[in-house]
Structure 1
Amino acid sequence: MNFIINIIGVPLGFIMKLIYNWVGNYGIAIILFTLFTKILLFPVSYKQQKNAARQQLLAPKLKKLQEKYRNEPEKMQLEQSKLYQEENINPYSSCLTSFIPLILLWGVLAVVYKPMTYIMDYKKPVIEEAKAIVLMIDDDREAAEKLINKNSMREELILMGKLLQDGKAEEFQAIVKSGEVTVWDKDGNESVQKLAAIDESFVPAVTQFAETFKIGNTNLSETPNWKPMQNSTVFLFLIPILSGILQLCMTIYMQHMQKKRNPDMPNMGPMNAMLYFMPLFSVWIGFTVPAGVGFYWMCSSAFSFVQSFLLYSWFNEERVQKIGEIEREKAKKANRRPSMMQRLMEQQEEMLRQQQGGESPATLGGGPSNRVRYSDDDGTERKPSRSEIEEYNTSVIREARKRMAEKYGEEEVQEEPVKLTKKKKK
């Protein structure tokens, strides 16, 4: 997990560092970083909202298809696919984009957890030597070492916090000047090592950064506590609460707009619980990670709410109808190669047509295959053998593929013969 988070954190850390160096305050940098990502991803959000608005207007037609082909699921699927194709709508376009906020969250997690790496540009050898010095000057070395090892992701925040304790910065700097640090192995044996990576600029740089690692007087390296009185500031406690409230408002607003544009939309019952997952997740994440991550998530929720309001206002019914007309014309004029999904659906439709015409693939134990008569040498009718059924199934599927290949001017794909498996007896 740490590896994945760090990979995402590298590009986001570079962007965050540029913004931080410009404004000189980590809290303000988070706000601007969040705004930057929203602007960068706005075309994706715009397309997703347009697609969703068009699907809502398409709901009555889809409902008619469901009622018409209630007992023919394959036919219903084919007709729905045709409708989406005619309307130039991709029903799965929002699947990937829904994960983007969480991907960004993991990246921000890395940037907040490791400011020495991503903002101050310190390499691993420097941080390792800083860790050794902190353990040497700590009043309870063993407890400090256990704390760091147990919270490896928070290592840099822990080091920064201990370095800023009263009098520790001076001790730290004295050891750096001496050029040597005492270290202990797993058995408690001590030895002296030369300091080769860290220099005297480390302490002033970390101290200066710590002064800007705030929003107002709230330290963004601290983790909020669910007990209000145990937080250093009121805002530290409010960050997770406000984040959850903003997510809840956005969820309720989106539900209201969807119901308004599609009054026939059924009540989702148990699915409503899933809609409230993000508000609860926002509160939980806010109380389990440093305030910098929670503050980013809160800002992201606020910008997302504003963006949703603007997009819902823009994509009113009249504008969506006009967009639909344009997209339908595009679909008609498009003389492009069909997608793999469209070809598979057409092939399925061809096989369904053969089935309705008495040419369906055969199955064991009777069925449409019995329309093809098999007889012995004396003319006595018999059931087809297993090999005959497999051969017949293969020929029907091959014929359907051949027609698709001829239609699109491609070479026919040779598939392996259909093999049947017997059902296990219960």
Structure 2
Amino acid sequence: MESIERLTNLAIARRSKLFALLGDDIGAVVSSDLPTKNYLSGYYSMNDTYASYLSAAVATRDKTVLVVSAADAGPALEILGDPALVFRYGLFYFERSSDGPSVEYDVPGFKTFEDAVRAAIRAIAPKGLKLGVDGSRGAGLATLLSAEWPVVDISDAVVRSRTTKLPEELVRLKKATRLVEAGIDAIRREFKIGMTEWELAGLVTSEMVRGGGVPEFISLTTGPRSALADAYPTGRKIQAGDLIRLDAGCVVDGYKSDMARCFVVGDASRLITTRYKAIAEGLEAELAAVRSGANVRDLYLAAVKATRSAGIPSYRRHHCGHGIGLSGYEYPLISEASEAVLEDGMCLCVETPFYELGWGGMMIEDTICVTKEGFDPITTIPRQLFQLA
């Protein structure tokens, strides 16, 4: 229960941060966006893997209530701890033993999601109180609620609040990253020629789950397939001379990791060595530009320029990284078009991938936390091209 208590305390701290940005004018906030629901409540729902799933968090400065399906009520109650804070809709059957919980989940909740949302808001936000609606998935909510409450779009405030991280958020980001690193170590320890991409991905997945994470994505591609960005592993058997590109992430209490490393089976060719050195120097140049107050655009330009100068003159990228937190891609995107400025406490994934169709691909991606002087590393494993026997 200590873990749940810490999640609850973290949600309280995050709500305080958001409401401080909103000011006294907004009495309650509502969101159907997965990361924002987690931000307000501390609850990370398995049901949100379904795009059609409807749920919402309604929060004041003092409390959060959740609107969830009847099937989702039990896990939500584990986090919130009070049945009065969980508003169910629909029907799902559970049996209950004589000494089971007092909440009977097989009793129908509200008939529809919309009914449950209105009831939840009425329970903590009197009529006439101004509501802030997170616009990430909030257009329908704003329309639904505006007949009874004054509604304001708070999307920008939500982005700003989530952009910089609290210490307890960093703890979770670091743990999620360590689990990917454990998977990389497992590949280095257990690899044998002839293993499949599936088998290597399985090693990474096992380390994530064993350490308490939920696998989010594992793009493990080999040989010519390593040039396919964001591709699933297959049954391809790995041979001597192959490049192996791993880009992976998992989830810890809603917080995402995203990092990448490369391996070569046997001795690396001169071309592999040259190109890997180029993307490594590109990443180093990008990291050298990181500090609170720096223009995000300058990070992108530094990475591309250094990669070209170091051995890949044709190097092109649409972006060289992104923010990370409760979403895999958060503000800001590290691109040439960005007008963002780095802030102390921002967490970023910085990356310099290279893909050549018909040849292969390679990638280095690290996670960092921006500081006034530069950055603190979240990824700790070396950036070298790992050689596998």
Structure index of larger Rg: 1
| TM-score category, normalised to shorter length | under 0.3
Greater helix proportion: 1
TM-score w.r.t. the length of structure 1 is 0.21
Kindly indicate whether structure 1 or structure 2 has the higher relative contact order, using CA contacts under 8 Å at least 6 residues apart. 1
